[in-house]
Chains A and B, each alone.
Chain A
Amino acid sequence: MQLNKKLGLAVASLLVSTQGHADDWLVDSGMLLYSETDSEGQDRVSVVEPVVIATKEYDTNDFFRYTVVFDALTGASPNGAPALTVSQEFPGFVVAAGETPLDNGFEDQRLAMGVVRGKPFDHGASRYEMGANFSVERDYLSLGSSLLVAKDSADKQTTVSGSLGLSFDVISPRGGLRPEFGSIFDTVTAPSGRFTLKDDDDDEDEDGYEDDDDFLEGEKKLTLEGLIGISHVLNQYTVLSANYGLSLSNGYLSDPYKVVALLDTNGRAEDYLWEKRPDKRVRQTLAGKMVTALGEHSLHLSYRYFRDDWGIASHTGDMEFYLRAGDKWQLRPHLRYSRQSAADFYVPYLAASDDLPTYASSDYRLGGLTTATAGMKIIYHLPDDRRISLNLEQVKQNPDSWDGLTLNSEWIAEGPPSVTFYAITIGYRTKW
C-alpha cells in the first residue's frame, strides 16, 4: 500500500509537470490600514497603503517581480521637544504644560516601485536576483539597486548567499533646508503648523509649502549595504539560517522635522534647535532563524542583534506559529519583542547654559525603547491557488522614561509617551 501510494504521487507530479504550465502571473494585492495613538490620547499617524506585487515565474528561481506601493500618510508625530511642566511656545502655536509637542498637519503621499529579476545559473545550483527600486514623496526621493547571489551545496542541504545594495536618497524638506542646530524661530509657520524658513518665502504656494521645482536640490544620503547568509537543512523537520549584515550610510542622516529644546536654568524653553546627527552611520546585524515542522504545523523562531556606531544596540526575538486548520484555513499567531538602547547623542533637551554638543537628537526612536508586537494572520484558500488573508497586528512602543538621563528631570512633565498602533492588512492572491 505504502509503495503504491508513493509511486502514485510521484507519477502524478511527473504528468502534471510535463504538461507544461501556463505562464501565469501571480498577483498579490494588499491594503494596509494603520493608525497610531499615544498614551496621552493624541491621534498620531494614520496610513492607508495599497500594495500590488506581481510575479511572473518562468521556472524555479526564474522570475520577474514588480512591486508598487502607494502610501497616504496623515497625522502628527512628536517634534522631539519634551513635555514640560510649563507651556511651550512654538512659532505659531502653543503647547500646554504636560503635553508632548507634536508636529501637526503631517501629510504626505509616497509612491514606491521596484522590480526584481531572479535567474538560476550554474545548472540551477546557483541563482542571482537583481533589483532596482525607487520611491518618491513630496520631500524625499530614493533610488536603490541590489544584487543577491546564492549557491546551493552539492547535496542541497546548505545554501550560502551574499547580497549588496546601494541606495541614494535626496531629502528636500518642505519649507526649505534646515540648518542643523539652527533656531526654529528663524522660520515662519504655515496654518498647518508647518515651519518655513523666513528667508525662503518667495515661492511658497497657498498652504505654505515651497514648490518642489528643484527636486534633486536637497540634502543627500548614500547607503551601501552588504549581507552574507547561510541556511542549512538540519534534518527533515528543521531548517536553520543565519546572516550578518553591514550597512554604511553617509550624508544627511538627521530628521529635518525634529527639534531639540534648549532649556534655561528655570526649565523654560529658551529656543528650539533643529536636531543634528552624525553624517556617518555604520550598522551591523547578526540574525538567526529556525523553522521547525510540527506535524502539519510549523514554528518559526528568530533572533536578531543590532548595533551601530551611534551607540544603539537592540535585541529582537520573534516567534510565529503556522497552524493549519483543515485544507482551507491557516492561522499564524505571531509575537515579537524588541529592546533597544539609546544613541549616545540622544538627549531630552539641551541646557542653554552649556556649550552645544557635537550632535543631539530628541527623537524617541533613537532612545531606549521597548517594542512588543502581537499579531495574527488568517489565510483562507480559495480554488485555483487563490487565497485571501487578513493580518491584524498590535504594536506597543514604550520609550524609556527620562529618569536618570538628565540633571533636571523635574522640569520634564513626563518622558516620551508610549505609542500603540494597529495595522490591518487585507490581502488577496490570485493568478492571471
Chain B
Amino acid sequence: MINRSPPVVRQRRPGLWLGTFEAMKSPCEVCVECADENQAHVLVEQAANEAWRIEEKFSRFLPESVIGRINRATGWQPVDEETMALLKLADTCWQATDGLIDITIGAVMCLWRFDGQSPPPPRHVVAEARKSVGWDKVELRTDAVRLKEGVQLDFGGIGKEYAVDRVGMQLLQALPKGGVLVNFGGDVLAARSKKDGQPWHIGVETLVGQEKQSGLALVTGAVATSGDTKRFAVDGKGQRLGHVLNPKTGWPVPHGPATVTVVGGTATQAGLLATCAMLQGKYAGDFLAREGVRHYIQWPK
C-alpha cells in the first residue's frame, strides 16, 4: 500500500469545485460543476479512489499489483477482465503501430535514468536487455497470459491515460448534469462541457526559456502529452535523450521532439498517438498531420 494524503477540495468559483490529489507520481486534478459541496467531496473522493485503484493494480513497481504478479510468474497466469481488456488493447496497439507501442519495454526502461543529468546505459547492456523486449513473447488466451522468461510488462505508457478516461466516465455517471474535467499530470479529459457552454482552459507545460504557450481551449475531448520537459538523460556530447524509448532499439529516437501534445476523443487514444509521434523522431509533425489530429509539438532548444 502507498501512503496517501486525502484529496483536497476547493471552490474555484460558485458551483465549480477543484479536487487535487497525488496518483501515479503526478499531481491529479478533477473539476466538477455541482451546487452541493458535499457532493463535490464525494465525487472527488471517488475519483481519487479510482485513480489509486488503477495505480495499485497496474503499477509494475508494486510487487502485489496484478502486473507485479504477472511479471514474476512463470507459466500461465489467470487475469481478470479489466487486465485482459488492457492486454488486448496493448495487442491491438502493437499490431497497428508495427511494434512501436510495446508494453514489454519494461526490461529496457529500468536501465535508464531520466533525471536530466545521467548518462545513457552502456550499449551492450541495452542490447542484452532488448532480448527480453517484444510483445510477440507474450501469449494471450481469453482469461490468461503467459510471458517468456525475462519479459516484463509495463503499463506506464497507457495506465495514466486509462485512469483519466475511467475517472471521467465514472464522474459522468455519478453526476448527471454539470461540467467534468479530469487532469492527471497533463493528460486531460474534458468529459462534459461547463454549464455555461464555455470551454475548459488547459495549460500546456513549456520548456524553460521558451515562449509560453497560451494553452488549449476544449469544450469536450481529451489532451495527452508524451515526453517531458524535465525527464531526460544526457549523452556524452551533452545531447538530451528524451524518455520515450523505441522498443526496437531500446534507445530514444534521436532528434525527436521534447514533447508532443495530441487532442483526441479519449486520453488513452490521444496518449497512444502522442507516443507514436515521439517515436517518429523529426518526422513527428508530418506523422500527426497525416493522422489529421490537432497537435502541439515542442522541440528541444
Contact = CB atoms under 8 A, between A and B. Distances in A.
B143 A120 contact: yes
B272 A7 contact: yes
Interface string B153-170: 000000000100110010
B269 to A, nearest CB: 4
B290 interface: yes
A17 B87 CA distance: 12
Contacts of B269: 4, 7-8, 11
B291 A1 contact: yes
B291 A3 contact: yes
Interface string A1-31: 1111011101111110111000000000000
B82 A18 contact: yes
Nearest to B92: A10
A62 B89 CA distance: 22
Interface in B77-105: 78, 81-82, 85-86, 88-89, 92-93, 96-97
A14 B88 contact: yes
Interface size class of A (residues with CB under 8 A): 20 to 34
Nearest to B143: A124
Nearest to B268: A11
A11 to B, nearest CB: 4
Contacts of A124: 141-144
A14 B144 contact: no
B215 interface: no
Interface size class of B (residues with CB under 8 A): 20 to 34
A19 B169 contact: yes
A159 to B, nearest CB: 13
Contacts of A3: 96-97, 273, 276, 291
A17 B142 contact: no
Contacts of B78: 123
B139 interface: yes
A4 B89 CA distance: 14
A218 to B, nearest CB: 46
A6 B96 contact: yes
Nearest to B266: A11
B143 A18 contact: no
A14 B265 contact: no
B89 A11 contact: yes
A364 B27 CA distance: 81
Interface of B: 76, 78, 81-82, 85-86, 88-89, 92-93, 96-97, 139, 141-144, 162, 165-166, 169, 264-266, 268-269, 272-273, 276, 290-293
Given A8-B264, A13-B85, A15-B165, 6 more contacts: A10-B96, A11-B165, A14-B86, A18-B81, A59-B143, A123-B142
